[in-house]
A and B are shown apart, each in its own frame.
Chain A
């Protein structure tokens, strides 16, 4: 009996700690963001949000996110497939490299691109000749976002594909199915939910990316400012209310993605329970 009681105590203690922690570090700041944003009323809020530069920042953020998600989904599927379904030399090196962006600081990722494509680079004359602008331009922002988010899709897929093994693919191949049929009918149904989950993670990370993008953007208002950068500029200019208003857009986007994420998780779980 005593043991059961102490177990109950431990349970409530752990729950209390988690709730207090989440409240202090998550709920409270979010509450502050929203109240600060609406401090001067809804009209002022709408003005801040519909400001020309803010709208441009939203569009640029969405653009970078869409690019990053599409490219990383394709890359992630290919990489995960290669790593799990084939035997080759250097496989360990490849899987380690895929994880690199998670461990490298985003600032360094940004600097890498500045050094590769900037004025000091040996590639610069070539880029200039064809009038390609990467650093302090939209392509740089897209590149940085892709770099920072590229492990997310493949990281989700690799364990799923690994647990599936290669038997089903071999069986399909023996019956004469070609690569695309095998992928479409055997592999894809298996990775569907993990893939969607990876895409959501990738998208949310891409939207919030600050470090690498900050280095590459040059902070040209209306041109190379993403939402997080726009928030920083407003904040530095002591425009607190607009800064919080723009932040609230990011918060709403993040909550939307969280809801999508939970739906996907729920559906995926249900389906794997049946199969």
Chain B
């Protein structure tokens, strides 16, 4: 059974410098076979560098890259058997869709019959039947992305790398493509790593997320895991919509963490009630002023000011409307307390007391 837990792709203490700039700082992680993994981080966090090093387009200054039990540092990109989807697809613009997909197979000198069969199979897989003779410029963004995907898959790679696969597509098509790509990769069972700066995208598509920041890996885990138990201050603030709390002791009935005073709040950690609405935990309620009210389709986002802090809370459309300038009550269920680079998740003790009462 130990075989199954072994990483298919492994990075060991990878360092990479661009001049003075430390693009990868002691990066280590492992990825299991068949997983769809997101490298998530703000721009300049070194995520694309990691991807390009795995592909062999860049060489690390130190450390080892292991794919399928083999150190690949000295194996050229072309021999690694990796499929790569570029950020702007890099489709060959002077070749048709058919020739784009066939390119890798022609390089391998496969027979024309085999190539034809494989290309046709992939074209129907990506749902572009009948468009084989088009040139990339005659396709929509989403179609181009599908062609790039098919082209990368054509030579049957063991590993698929995607650099910001949805960045160049407009918002509406993006949603659709995300689930398409996820289903497709699941169906094929190919180990895949994709780079993104969009947390929604990472949460929606990936089995596992690796959060990068300033050339370091901050945390690796399933989306739920990272959301629930962020390990670093960066992970706590980057993941999900967050608001900074200057002095969390303002909210009573929370345990105290030695030496820490700042915390992070998420909208779902907050309950906002109007003055005339019934409340459960009257002891621990704080007063805040409504700054703005924004309709978000399925809910209403209410921005409130509490002392020097700005929070956003959500209310459903069924609840009584609140107005700008109104004084409301906020109740905090949970807090992520920042203790240096560590994070503690605190639960409001009022909740425990109540469950004891019931």
**Do A and B interact with each other, yes or no?**
yes
Q: Hey, which bits of chain A sit against chain B, CB under 8 A?
A: 167-168, 170-177, 181, 185-186, 189-190, 274-275
Given contacts A168-B90, A275-B93, 4 further A-B contacts (CB under 8 A): A173-B78, A175-B78, A175-B104, A190-B93
Q: How many A-B residue pairs have CB under 8 A?
A: 57
A170 touches B86 (CB 8 A): yes
Q: How far is the CA of A274 from the CA of B93 in the complex (A)?
A: 10
Contact across chains for A173 and B137 when beta carbons are under 8 A apart: no
Q: How far is the CA of A58 from the CA of B77 in the complex (A)?
A: 53
Interface pair A174/B78, CB less than 8 Å apart: yes
Q: Which of B71-122 contact A (CB under 8 A)?
A: 77-79, 82, 84, 86, 88, 90-95, 103-104, 107-108
Q: How many residues of B contact A (CB 8 A)?
A: 26
* Residues in A whose Cβ lies below 8 Å from that of B57: 170, 174
Task: Please tell me which one of the listed residues B94, B95, B107 contacts residue A181 in the complex, with CB atoms under 8 A apart.
Answer: B107
Q: Do A185 and B137 touch (CB < 8 A)?
A: no
Least Cβ–Cβ distance between A59 and chain B, in angstroms: 38
| Contact of A171 with B86 in the complex, beta carbons under 8 Å | yes
| Minimal beta-carbon separation of B64 from chain A (angstroms) | 21
Q: Give me 12 A-to-B residue pairs in the complex whose CB atoms sit less than 8 angstroms apart, sorted by A's number.
A: A167-B88, A168-B92, A168-B93, A170-B57, A171-B151, A173-B77, A175-B103, A177-B78, A181-B107, A190-B93, A274-B137, A275-B94
- Residues from 157 to 193 in B contacting A, C-beta threshold 8 Å: none
- Complex Cα gap A170–B55 (Å): 11
Shortest beta-carbon distance from B218 to chain A in Å: 28
- B94 contacts across to A, CB distance below 8 A: 186, 189-190, 275
Q: Is the interface of A mostly helix, strand, loop or mixed?
A: helix
Q: Report which B residues bind A (CB closer than 8 A).
A: 55-57, 77-79, 82, 84, 86, 88, 90-95, 103-104, 107-108, 135-138, 151, 155
B194 to chain A, nearest CB (A): 16
CB distance from B293 to the nearest CB of A (A): 45
CA separation between A66 and B245, bound complex, in Å?
76
Q: Give the distance to chain A from B49, nearest Cβ to Cβ, in Å.
A: 14
Pick the residue among A171, A185, A275 that contacts B84 (CB under 8 A). Answer: A171
Whether B79 pairs with A167 at a CB distance below 8 angstroms is no
Given contacts A170-B57, A176-B108, contact A275 B137 (CB under 8 A): yes
In the complex, the chain B residue whose C-beta lies closest to that of A188 is B94
B90's partner among A167, A190, A274 (CB-CB below 8 A) is: A167
B90 touches A170 (CB 8 A): yes
Taken together as a complex, chains A and B put the C-alpha atoms of A177 and B106 apart, in Å, by 9
> Separation in Å of the B358 CB from the closest CB of chain A?
61
Contact of B135 with A275 in the complex, beta carbons under 8 Å: yes
Chain B residue with the shortest CB-CB distance to A190: B94
- In angstroms, Cα B57 to Cα A274, docked, is 31
Q: How far is the CA of A16 from the CA of B104 in the complex (A)?
A: 57
Other-chain contact of B77, A174, A185, A275 (Cβ < 8 Å)? A174
Closest to B80 in A: A174
- Contact for B82 among A174, A181, A189, CB less than 8 A: A174
Q: Are A186 and B92 in contact (CB under 8 A)?
A: yes
A171, A173, A177, A189 — most chain B CB neighbours (10 Å): A171
- State whether A171 and B135 are in contact (beta carbons under 8 Å apart), knowing that A176-B107, A176-B108 are contacts in the complex: no
How far apart are B122's CB and chain A's nearest CB, in angstroms?
14
CA distance A173 to B56 in the complex (A): 10
Contacts of A274 in B (CB 8 A): 135, 137-138
B155 near A185: Cβ-Cβ < 8 Å: no
* A181-B107, A275-B135 known; A174+B84 contact, CB < 8 A: yes
Given the known A-B contacts A181-B107, A275-B135, A275-B137, are A176 and B78 also in contact in the complex, defined by CB atoms under 8 Å?
Answer: yes
Q: Which residues of B contact A186 (CB under 8 A)?
A: 92, 94
Nearest first, the 6 A-B pairs at minimum CB distance are: A167-B90, A189-B94, A175-B104, A176-B78, A171-B90, A176-B107
- By a CB distance below 8 angstroms, the chain B residues around A168 are 90-93
Q: Write the nearest CB–CB distance from A229 to chain B, whole angstroms.
A: 43
Shortest distance between the CB of B257 and any CB in chain A (Å): 48
Report the Cα distance A185→B103, complex, angstroms. Answer: 10
Tell me which residues across on chain A come within 8 A of B138, comparing CB atoms. 274
Query: A185 to B92, alpha carbons, bound, how many Å?
Result: 9
Residue of A nearest to B56 (CB): A174
Tell me how far the C-beta of B41 lies from the nearest C-beta in chain A, rounded to whole angstroms. 22
Q: A181-B107, A275-B137 are in contact. Are A175 and B93 (CB under 8 A)?
A: no
Taking CB as reference atom, which chain A residue is nearest B154?
A175
